[in-house]
Amino acid sequence: MDNQPKIFVAGHQGMVGSAILRTLAQNGQKNIITRSRSELNLTDQAGVRAFLEAEKPDQIYLAAAKVGGIHANNTYPAEFIYTNLMIESNVIHEAWRVGVKKILLLGSSCIYPKLAPQPMNESALLTGTLEPTNEPYAIAKIAGIKLCESYNRQYHESHGTDYRSVMPTNLYGPGDNYHPENSHVIPALIRRIHDAKITDSPAVTVWGSGSPRREFLYVDDMAAACVHIMNLEYATFAAHTHPMQSHINVGYGDDITILKLAETVADTIGFQGEIKFDPGKPDGAPRKLMDSTLLNTLGWKAKVTLKQGLSLAYNDFLNTYTS
């Protein structure tokens, strides 16, 4: 452990944070520190300051965030923008203050304009109007990107600051949130279709028209990409990014309609009933496909197919909620 960096994984109990822990462990990393939400409230600046002063990690994976689907974002916009702004501001500033050199901030594909050209390249940031249903969350994540870039611009030469941001596409897998109302599309479909199967329901109704296209990435692939980007040599990272456009997309490389996704989830679960759609419910953006060319150029590409990932996610759901 003496030769290993000391790593703080913020949000280690969430889906992405726990996947990062798994990936770091698989890589032989043992010098890892974590704190649960009850142990450390990241919206409390004084608490964050005391923690980082005591621990002084070498690296921080900032995976902690308040997240949710369309319903949650529409219902709790103030909570989404406030909580995420506070987490990012406290961790990034207090980390800089105690001399932490490396941070990896996890953002979201919703930072891009609603009608951004597809696939969405990093250069699309701040070029158009955001999707209204998750604008507060997106604004907070954009602010996080700009915090990282601003600290790099002002303090890289004097302090060695090297703060990076990754923008994942839609994630799913072990540790996901299967809440019936506040979950994202894949866990929502898994729960709803599983419930329909065990109750012998003849049909399942899905929000929206079924026509929007979405890209999905298995969470352990995302974690592997995070570790890859964190560990890139600074010269390599700097050569492929710009001081005011340094975030990196992390995607699978292909997308699927919500209709086809629902059918694929039903096939995974073994549900034989009808899939119906409610066009009175919001669709969100018509399409969200990430351009991951930059990440592929930097030596990383997703490995887990949607079919493989859905099977793993459903097994996790069964073990977590029905065992």
**Who contacts 199 (Cβ-Cβ below 8 Å, separation ≥6)?**
none
Helix (H, G, I), strand (E, B) or coil at 151: helix
DSSP character at residue 124: G
Question: Can you read off the two tokens belonging to residue 304?
Answer: 């887990």
**Cβ 197 vs Cβ 268: under 8 Å:** no
Instruction: Report the catalytic residues.
Output: 137
**Cβ 177 vs Cβ 15: under 8 Å:** yes
- In 3D space, the residue among 86, 16, 105 whose CA is nearest the CA of residue 45 turns out to be 86
Neighbours of 174 (CB within 10 A): 18
**Maximum Cα interatomic distance, the chain, rounded to a whole number of Å:** 65
**Who contacts 233 (Cβ-Cβ below 8 Å, separation ≥6)?**
none
Q: What angle, 0 to 180 degrees and rounded to 10, lies between the N-to-C axes of helices 185-198 and 258-269?
A: 40
- The single-letter code of the amino acid at 285 is A
Provide the b/e sequence for 72-87 (b: ≥16 CB within 10 Å).
bbeebbeebbebbbbb
**What are the E-state strand segments in 189-272?**
203-207, 213-214, 216-218, 248-250, 256-257
- Compute the distance between CA of residue 49 and CA of residue 239 in angstroms, rounded to an integer: 33
Question: Can you read off the two tokens belonging to residue 24?
Answer: 């770091």
Question: Can you read off the two tokens belonging to residue 294?
Answer: 């930059």
Question: Can you read off the two tokens belonging to residue 185?
Answer: 């599309």
- In 3D space, the residue among 292, 273, 172 whose CA is nearest the CA of residue 221 turns out to be 172
Neighbours of 150 (CB within 10 A): 16
